[in-house]
Amino acid sequence: MTASGPDDDIALIDVDVDRLDAAAAPALKARLQARLDGSARKILLNLERVSFMDSTGLGVLVSLIKMLGKDGAIAVTGVQPPVRRLFELTRLDTVFRMASGIEEGKAALRG
Amino acid sequence: MDHVASLAAPRPADATRPLMVLAVDDDELFLDYLTLELETLNCMVMAAANAEQAIRFLDHHAFDMCITDWQMPGMDGLALVQQLRSSHGPDQFLHVVMTTARGDARTVRAALDAGVDGFLFKPLDRLQLELAMASARRNVLLHQRLRRRNHHLAVAHGRTREAYRRMEADLKAAAALHRQLLPAPHSAGDRLRLAWTYRPAQHISGDTIGVIPLRDGKRLFFLADAQGHGVPAALTSFHIHHRLAQLAPDTPTALEVALAELNREINAQALESYVTLICGVLAPGSGDGCIVRAGHPSPLLIGPNGIEPMKLEGAFPIGWFEHATFEAEPLRLAPGTQLFLYSDGVTEARDKDGVELELDGLRAMLTAAPEASVDVLVSHVDAALRARRGNAGLEDDISILALEIKGDRE
């Protein structure tokens, strides 16, 4: 997982695991927590490498929403079909701004 | 009482303890001399004048060591060693030394085969005896230490097994309690026909299924899947089941209120647990009701027009967000149509090559049992899922609940 420095108040986080499951979730959660210790309240998650997500992975994203609180916002980009289905099933698609690229994601968060 | 712990622990290895020695020789003078020498080397000696007497002593006393002559009237030393070795278990220890005037290779080979550990050659020399006794003492001490260690291991192993047995019994009891919550079969005159299958991947499951009678003949039905596995997931699903039965919502509004309440309860638990759920109220007389989909796959409607997932907006899983709401959507189950609820363990069931069943696979299984009653349908899918997994066993809990309303003419 890598994260680019905030050129503004948006933190871009590349989730660079193929399977976001119980094995990968703790590392992502720790990474997200470290990023949120700063001032970032807007997160752009790049999920283009994630082809599989299970309930634990989903749980990490939900805890991210809770960590950000009311003022926070999350956009996701690069969402592959199985992950999109999971978002739709659990209605997370109504919480995340679903974008089709980094720039679109940033614009969605700024707008 | 723990039968292993009740075994007496072997004595600790003590280098100063006298060695218990059985000395066997038909030569009274030699036996006397050997006894005296051994007693100066911190041994307690019992002297036997022949092999038969030696065997009687062995039957009644515990020895560390036996020093026997070879040639004796009656049973000779070789036969004595053969007999005591064959009557000893593999864990019993006795250091055996043979005294002989003969030192040829065939003699030594025969004694080795009989189970002799060492030789003392006559006439006996003090230094030779000291050497033999030092070696015997080391063997005895080593054996005692090993026995003691084995004893500790056996006790520890026994405790672990006992703890495991208790835990397994607890889990089985919890599983039995959970099973008691599962729906009773429909009665013969009931318009609502129901069938279900419930197969936990482990002893206890995060899945639960309920069909609960409400007033006016209505039923509350649900299939819930608490995320995660094992005891925490099972406790959460138990909580959900118990609370739904207690709240017993019988209208769309009551259902929405009940699920909002449950959502707050699960959310308030510090654990990161959540539950996906299909829950509805159905009036078997009219086939009308309402249904909530909370993060769970939509149930399938199986009817004359095919097999399709119910179109439901749905809501978040139970427990994610404190202030989430759960809109009850209309449900109408016409006679001849079946409502098929399933946990994701069904569509994610892998075959031996690791390929998931997915919705299309489930649909194909259902199509293979056309116009079947819910009982036949559920048994068919259950059998097909088990056949798919073969001997590999389940990775995830599998739950299915199917409902249909019997038409007036049936």
Q: Average pLDDT of B267-279?
A: 89
pLDDT of A38: 65
Question: How far, in Å, CA of B271 to CA of B277, rounded?
Answer: 18
**Cis bond leading into B10, ω under 30°?**
no
CA distance A73 to B308: 35
Residue B205 has pLDDT above 50, yes or no: yes
Render pLDDT for B215-253 as a digit per residue (tens, 0 to 9): 889 999 999 999 877 788 899 999 999 999 999 999 999
What's the whole-number mean pLDDT along residues B128-138?
93
For residue A22, name the pLDDT band (cuts at 50, 70, 90): confident
Residues 6+ apart with CB under 8 A from A25: A56, A57, A59, A60
Nearest to B181 by CA among B201, B204, B161: B204
pLDDT above 60 for B157? yes
Contact flag A59-B317 (C-beta cutoff 8 Å) = no
| 3-state SS record for chain B | CCCCCCCCCCCCCCCCCCEEEEEECCCHHHHHHHHHHHHHCCEEEEEECCHHHHHHHHHHCCCCEEEEECCCCCCCHHHHHHHHHHHCCCCCCCEEEEEECCCCHHHHHHHHHHCCCEEEECCCCHHHHHHHHHHHHHHHHHHHHHHHHHHHHHHHHHHHHHHHHHHHHHHHHHHHHHHHHCCCCCCCCCCEEEEEEEECCCCCCCEEEEEEECHHHCEEEEEEEECCCHHHHHHHHHHHHHHHHHHCCCCHHHHHHHHHHHHHHHHHCCCCCCEEEEEEEEECCCCEEEEEEEECCCCEEEECCEEEECCCCCECCECCCCCCCCCCEEEECCCCCEEEEECHHHHCCECCCCCECHHHHHHHHHHCCCCCCHHHHHHHHHHHHHHHHHHHCCCCCEEEEEEEECCCCC
Strand A19-20 versus strand A42-46 pairing type: unpaired
Asked if residue A32 has pLDDT above 90, the reply is no
Which of A52, A56, A67, A90 to probe by mutation at the B interface, max B CB count within 10 Å?
Answer: A90
pLDDT (0 to 100) of residue A7: 53
Q: Name the average pLDDT for chain B.
A: 90
A35, A64 Cβ separation under 8 angstroms: no
- End-to-end, the C-alpha distance of chain B in Å comes to 61
Closest CA to A110 of A9, A18, A33: A9
- Residues of chain A in contact with residue B227, where contact means CB-CB under 8 angstroms, are 55-56, 59
Measure the CA–CA gap between B119 and B110, rounded to whole angstroms.
Answer: 12
- A–B interface: beta-carbon pairs under 8 A: 28
Of A55, A89, A92, the CB nearest to B227: A55
% chain B with pLDDT above 70: 95
Tokens of B129: 């005896």
**CA–CA min distance A46, chain B (Å):** 22
- Domain spanning B19-152, CATH architecture: 3-Layer(aba) Sandwich (3.40)
Is residue B5 predicted with pLDDT exceeding 60?
Answer: no
**pLDDT tens column, B187-202:** 777 899 999 999 988 8
Chain B partners within 8 Å of A63 (Cβ): 272
Q: What is the pLDDT of residue B10?
A: 65
List, in order, residues 6 or more apart from A77 with CB less than 8 Å away.
A44, A45, A46, A47, A48, A98, A99, A100, A101, A102, A104, A105
Mutate to test the interface with A, among B237, B269, B272, B326 (most CBs of A within 10 A): B272
The model's pLDDT over B316-346, given as tens digits with 9 standing for 90+, comes to: 999 999 999 999 999 999 998 999 999 999 9
- Which residues are bridge partners to B25 per DSSP? none
- What is the value of pTM for the model shown? 0.76
Q: Which residue has the higher pLDDT, B271 or A8?
A: B271
- Cβ-in-10-Å burial (0-12, 13-18, 19+) of A44 comes to buried
In which domain, by residue range, is A40 found? Answer: 2-110
The residue that leads in pLDDT, B224 or A6, is B224
Average pLDDT, chain A: 86
* Total domain count, chain A: 1
Residue B410 has pLDDT above 60, yes or no: no
List the beta bridge partners of residue A32.
Answer: none
The residue of chain A nearest to residue B274, with distances taken between CA atoms, is A59
Per-residue model confidence as pLDDT tens digits over B296-317: 999 999 998 899 999 999 999 9
Q: Is B319 on the interface with A (CB under 8 A)?
A: no
Taking the alpha carbons at both ends of chain A, their separation in whole angstroms is: 27
According to DSSP, the β-strands at B207-213 and B43-48 are unpaired
* CATH code at position A47: 3.30.750.24
Q: What is the pLDDT of residue B304?
A: 87
Q: What is the pLDDT of residues B377-408, one digit of tens each?
A: 999 999 999 988 877 777 788 999 999 998 76
For chain B, the structural domain boundaries read 19-152, 182-405
Yes or no, beta carbons of B316 and A90 under 8 Å apart = yes
pLDDT in tens, B21-75: 999 999 999 999 999 999 999 999 999 999 999 999 999 999 999 999 999 999 9
pLDDT value for B4: 43
Report whether pLDDT(B267) > 90: yes
Tokens representing residue A72 in the block: 């926070």
What are the φ and ψ backbone dihedral angles of B297, each rounded to 5 degrees? -55, 140
The answer on pLDDT for A5 being more than 60 is no
At residue B108, the pLDDT reads 85
Q: Which CATH number fits domain B182-405: 3.40.50.2020, 3.40.190.10, 3.60.40.10, 3.90.76.10?
A: 3.60.40.10
How far does A89 lie from chain B, in Å, by closest CA? 5
Phi, psi of B86 (to 5 degrees): -75, -25
**Which residues in chain A are contacts of B326 at CB distance < 8 A?**
none
Establish if B228 touches chain A: CB-CB under 8 angstroms.
yes
CB B20 within 8 A of CB B60: no
Nearest to B317 by CA among B271, B257, B277: B277
Evaluate if residue B1 carries a pLDDT over 50: no
**Residue range A89-93: mean pLDDT, rounded:** 94
- Does residue B3 carry a pLDDT above 70? no
In terms of C-beta density within 10 A (0-12 exposed, 13-18 middle, 19 or more buried), how is residue B151 classed? middle
ipTM: 0.88
What pLDDT is attached to residue B104? 81
Q: Nearest CA to CA, how far is A82 from chain B (Å)? A: 11
Residues of A within 8 A of B320 (CB-CB) are 62, 90
